[in-house]
Amino acid sequence: MLTAKLVLVGCGHMGGPLLHGWLERGVEARHVTVVEPDADIARALGQEHSITVHADPGTIAADLDPDVVVLAVKPQIMDSVAPAYRRFAGPHTVFLSIAAGRTLAYFEGHLGAQAGVVRSMPNTPATVRRGVTVACLNDRVQPEQQRLCHDLLESVGEVAWVEDETLLDAVTALSGNGPAYLFLLVECLAAAGIAAGLPKDLAWHLARNTVTGTGELLRRSPHSAAELREQVATPGGTTAAAMEVLMAEGGLEALMTRAVAVAAQRSRDLGKG
């Protein structure tokens, strides 16, 4: 059971799943303070979980001494959000960010050089507790604070740590953005099925369930993705014919490589402020 005192800044698409994961792990609602300006979200949290919600950080009790401040707002608005939490910076509190592109140095600049900061990149399967997060930390974070952040992130999926912060840009481009790539794949499969003559509803049903079922097969199988692909692609068969198109020069691998490279560069650009 987690007993830490937490401040969650932003309770949207990622903050919300994190909060629910913590509560499922045994964090008591009375130990969580949420800062969320959206009145509808705030009202729902108060009614469903009896959580204290503030529209802005200025109304947080002056004597609050949180173990973790989780910054779960979009990177584009972090400049106007982070400085308000500088007062918590010190040896007792660690800051945990899930904002793409915002570096450890960026947060040290806004929160002070004394701030212990963990930078992480989860992804949206966290909503169903199947996310994957990669994190790194600055030298102000104590081992017990790293363990606490690990436990908080693990409440919504798997967690890995890296020492080289620059890897977080590629992580963002691959796993952070990856769900969108797969959603697009479903869209493309359905559109291709419709173009081949399938009724729209059937094409969407087949595309959606093929991708979700295949993901579960990959999760459970001891074989690699390449081995599983080869099991499907019988030489001279229909799958092999399709693979000739997808694996040709300039095909799916080249497109994905370009997409991930562009996303990683965008993450680096965000880090430059």
Which of 45-54, 136-145, 184-193 is least confident?
45-54
Residues whose CB falls within 8 Å of the CB of residue 80, separated by 6 or more in sequence, listed in order: none
Contact 120, 98 (CB under 8 A): yes
pTM of the model: 0.92
Q: Is the pLDDT of residue 45 over 90?
A: no
Phi, psi angles (nearest 5°) of residue 232: -85, -35
Alpha carbons 115 and 108: distance in angstroms, whole number:
6
Q: What is the mean pLDDT of residues 58-82?
A: 94
Can you give the pLDDT at residue 6? 97
Query: CA nearest 118: which of 143, 95, 92?
Result: 95
> What is the domain partition of the chain in residue ranges?
6-165, 178-271
CATH superfamily of 6-165: NAD(P)-binding Rossmann-like Domain (3.40.50.720)
CATH topology assigned to domain 178-271: ProC C-terminal domain-like fold (1.10.3730)
pLDDT (mean) for 38-47:
88
Residue 1, pLDDT > 70, answer: no
* CA-based R_g, the chain, Å: 21
Q: Phi and psi dihedrals of 187, rounded to 5?
A: -60, -45
- Give yes or no for residue 273 having a pLDDT over 80: no
Domains 6-165 and 178-271 belong to one CATH topology: no
Q: Confidence band (pLDDT; 50, 70, 90) for 79?
A: very high
User: Roughly what angle, to the nearest 10 degrees, separates helices 15-24 and 39-49?
Assistant: 10
Please state whether beta strands 116-121 and 131-137 pair in parallel, antiparallel, or not at all (unpaired).
antiparallel
Q: What is the pLDDT of residue 247?
A: 96
pLDDT at residue 108 tops 70: yes
pLDDT single digits (tens) 220-260: 999 999 999 999 999 999 999 999 999 999 999 999 999 99
Q: Report helix, strand or coil for 161.
A: strand
